[in-house]
Amino acid sequence: MKKESSACNCINIRRAAQAVTEIYDGYLAESGLKIGQFSMLKHINSMSPVNVSRLAEKMRLDRTTLVRGLKALENEGYISDASEKGTRSRRLMLTPEGEKALEKAVPLWEQAQRYLEDNLGTDTLKDFTALLSKIESLTN
């Protein structure tokens, strides 16, 4: 069912982002992760051990949003702080539970990727990604 667009570009982009988030969260549900959590685990795994500032920079998230998400991952036992006692800078890394959660989630994430590619087309997604990068650069 085609939904009516708004006259506001911002609302249309936000609606599309929400729809894509719902798709990925739906595919990832079996893993117990949401797409934001998956992305954090994936980044931490590839950058490990990583401090919060560097992670925020790489993910292009503000620190407050990131720290809130990291707290949930810590509470689930998926990440730990490997920094030496008494140091201020945290060094985040995945725990064995976090590695298992990520391992379980990757094929589900790949299914979500294929779903979008199958329904939107790879060329459309490439163009869309380029457009999103252009939009993001408007604030720099």
What is the per-residue pLDDT for 2?
A: 75
Query: Average pLDDT of 36-64?
Result: 95
State the average pLDDT for the chain: 93
- Classify the phi-psi angles of 56: left when phi > 0, otherwise alpha if psi is within -120 to 50, otherwise beta: alpha
Is 3.40.50.300 the CATH number for 17-135? no
Query: Average pLDDT of 24-32?
Result: 97
What is the per-residue pLDDT for 53?
A: 92
What is the per-residue pLDDT for 140?
A: 65
pTM of the model: 0.89
Q: 116 in helix, strand or coil?
A: helix
> pLDDT tens for residues 84-115?
776 777 899 999 999 999 999 999 999 999 99
What is the per-residue pLDDT for 88?
A: 74
CB burial class (10 A; 0-12, 13-18, 19+) of residue 51? middle
Helix axes 9-28, 35-47, angle to 10 degrees: 80
